[in-house]
Amino acid sequence: MRLLLVEDDRMIGSGLRAVLQSEGHAVDWVRDIRSARAALASESFDLVLLDLGLPEAADSVQAAPGADGITLLRELRGRRNPTPVIVITARDAPEARILGLDSGADDYLPKPFDLAELSARIRAVTRRHGGHAQPVLCHCGVRLDPATRQVTLD
C-alpha cells in the first residue's frame, strides 16, 4: 500500500517509516501542514497516518496557529476525499479522541503505541474501507493473510 505519514518528530517519523517499509508499504513522509496539503492535493494514498500537533512549515519551530492535523482532516473530508485516516497523537483525552473521530478519522491511536498494534489497525481500517470484513483474502484457491503475509494454495 501507499501510505502518507504526517509526523513532525524526526525520531518517530523515521522509525515509523522504517517499520512500515519493512512491512512492504511505500511511505511518503511529510513533516508539516503545508507539505501534507500539497501531497494530499496532488497524490492519492491508500491510507494516511496523521499526527495532530504539526508546524505550518518544516522551518517553523512553533505549532501552526489555529491549524493542526484536525484542520487537515476536515479539509480532506470537506473535499469528499474518502482516504482512510488513522490519527496518531499524544493527545489522548476522551474529548480529543471524540474530536478526531468526529472530524473524519477512521481510527485514533494515542502515543506511545505498540507498532504491532498500529500494523493491525492499518489492516483493519483498510479492510473496512475495501468493504470486506474477512481478514484473509481468497481468490481462485489462493489465500493471502495480510497479518502474516503468508500465501497458501488450496
Which spans of this chain sit near Ca ion (rule: CB under 5 A)? 8, 51, 53
- Residue with the CB atom nearest Ca ion in the bound state: 53
Q: Shortest distance, CB of residue 101 to Ca ion, whole angstroms? A: 19
Pick between residue 11 and residue 133 the one whose CB is nearest to Ca ion: 11
Looking only at the bridges linking them, the beta strands covering 47-50 and 142-145 are: unpaired
Q: Do the Cβ atoms of 53 and 91 come closer than 8 Å?
A: yes
Least Å distance between CB 111 and Ca ion?
Answer: 9
State the minimum distance, in angstroms, from the CB of residue 86 to Ca ion: 15
CB of 37 to Ca ion, least distance (A): 16
Whose Cβ is closer to Ca ion: residue 30's or residue 146's? 30
- In the complex with Ca ion, the residue whose CB is nearer, 10 or 128, is 10
* Under 8 Å between Cβ of 45 and 76: no
Nearest CB to Ca ion, comparing residues 53 and 110: 53
CA distances from 99 to 33, 81, 92, 96, 144 (A): 19, 18, 11, 5, 35
Cβ at position 136, least distance to Ca ion in Å? 35
Q: What are phi and psi of 96, to 5 degrees?
A: -70, -40
Q: Which one, 35 or 129, has the nearer CB to Ca ion?
A: 35
